[in-house]
Structure 1
Amino acid sequence: MLYLYVLSLATAVYGEVTQNCTSQSKNGATLKVYSTHCYEFQLRHKVDWKAAEGDCSSRGGTLVVINDAEEQNFLMSSLKALSFHGSGVWIGLSDTNHEGTFTWVTGENSSFTFWAPGQPHLSHAGKRFILDGLVDEDCVLMKYSESGHWHDYPCQKLDPFGLVREHYPYICEYDTGTTSAPSVAPTMAPSTMSTTSAALPASPRVPSQ
């Protein structure tokens, strides 16, 4: 009995026990479990946001939905443990359905946020000037190089010539269908977050790109 509790506790903290993860996960991806969900870290596969969400959805999951500070901390700790050196990863948040209202791919509103200062962009009605025109910045990248702060980015390639693209790794999330393990927050915490919970400790330094 004690062994099972320790195993559950380790799963919540480190996300290393993956026997309940989907068999549909891609080769080359790293799987980790936190609470009742399985996370598939597609760190070698760089695509635009729409392709990332389509890939996760085709295998019964979604782009990752971050519900609270503990889950954000788990993702950042996992990226660090995986020696990730990219600038960021796609998450399942966007305002593609209604400009200025960011919702998760599951349809949930975003009650927890971790926007970088000045984000999301409000100038030019949420658009970025690229080459000969403005493009929407509707999809969200969790920037590992900025302590996990969120930035809004264009969802797909930016220009008709293919000179500028927004291709990044991503994280898929699946429901394992198991009972939740004890809730224990990982030790790594971003610096500031918008949430109703108590203040978190300062974030450790994350390698800059």
Structure 2
Amino acid sequence: MNLIKSKATLALRSLAILFAVIGLLVPETASQSADSLEEELSSLKLKLDTWRTRYRFLCNQYREVAANCSAAVFNCSQCPDGWFQVNDQCFFISRGIRSDWVTSKKNCTENGGHLAILTTEEQHEAIEKESRRIGGFYTDFWIGLTDAENEGEWKWVDNSTLKTPFWNKLRSEPDDNKSGGEEGEDCAVVDSHSQSWYDVPCNFAYLHICQMDAVPPQ
């Protein structure tokens, strides 16, 4: 038990130090001249990203230790109102007006995220649960996957290559069907209820799913 308490104390001290260092980053930026502001902002963003990653690691480590003793447990991250959380990621299912893939991508960017990059069964299960909760007639949603640049080379909106596909194999997807136009089917939607993907023409209109990183609690 003493070992567990020592680990919990260490985790708490690490979190306190982390918050203190992050707090020091702001005045450091304020002291710079206007000429170097752009470079300093880039450097600060890199530092913040590094500390966020470190924070998530330490917080998760603390939660594991706290679960075995009487230490208080708290959330390591949170999502904006209206978004739902899966591990360290936030997701938002749009409602109302449907749009094409490019417009949907822009809408997600304007809301601080990107079209969803779905890589796990857990994410698909959470999306199915949320889509059923909010109801609605539509179950197909744009995700951030396309092979518009090179046919058959599917990439996510962050330019990473598709590694774990969830194509609907019963329908032989992706099939690049030309019935929707000569350009074929270069963008992907997820059927939230079957948790599988289809390739469709990018100019078709669907609702969409946005994604962003969860952030430390304020």
Contact (CA 8 Å) 2:127, 2:192: kept in 1 or not? no
Mapped pair 1:61 → 2:107: no
How many residue pairs get aligned? The number is: 147
Mapped pair 1:106 → 2:158: yes
Return the alpha-carbon distance in structure 2 between the equivalents of residues 154 and 3 of structure 1: 53
Amino acid at match of 1:119: E
Return the alpha-carbon distance in structure 2 between the equivalents of residues 127 and 32 of structure 1: 34
Contact (CA 8 Å) 1:127, 1:135: kept in 2 or not? no
TM-score by length of 1: 0.62
Contact (CA 8 Å) 2:124, 2:192: kept in 1 or not? no
Q: Structure 2 matches for 1:153-168, cutoff 5 A?
A: 153-156=200-203, 166-168=204-206
Contact (CA 8 Å) 1:94, 1:102: kept in 2 or not? yes
Return the alpha-carbon distance in structure 1 between the equivalents of residues 191 and 86 of structure 2: 20
Mapped pair 1:74 → 2:126: yes
Amino acid at match of 2:84: K
The RMSD of aligned alpha carbons is 2.6
Mapped pair 1:129 → 2:179: yes
Q: CA deviation at 1:83?
A: 1.8
Return the alpha-carbon distance in structure 2 between the equivalents of residues 4 and 141 of structure 1: 41
Higher RCO (CA < 8 A, seq sep 6+): 1
Which residue pairs with 1:119 in the alignment? 173
Structure 2 residues without counterparts, runs of 5 or longer: 1-65
Amino acid at match of 1:141: V
State which structure, 1 or 2, has the greater radius of gyration over its C-alpha atoms: 2
Q: Which has the higher helix share?
A: 2
Which residue pairs with 1:173 in the alignment? 211
Contact (CA 8 Å) 2:131, 2:139: kept in 1 or not? no
Q: Secondary structure at the match of 2:182?
A: strand
Return the alpha-carbon distance in structure 1 between the equivalents of residues 118 and 72 of structure 2: 27
Contact (CA 8 Å) 1:69, 1:112: kept in 2 or not? no
Q: Which has the higher strand share?
A: 1
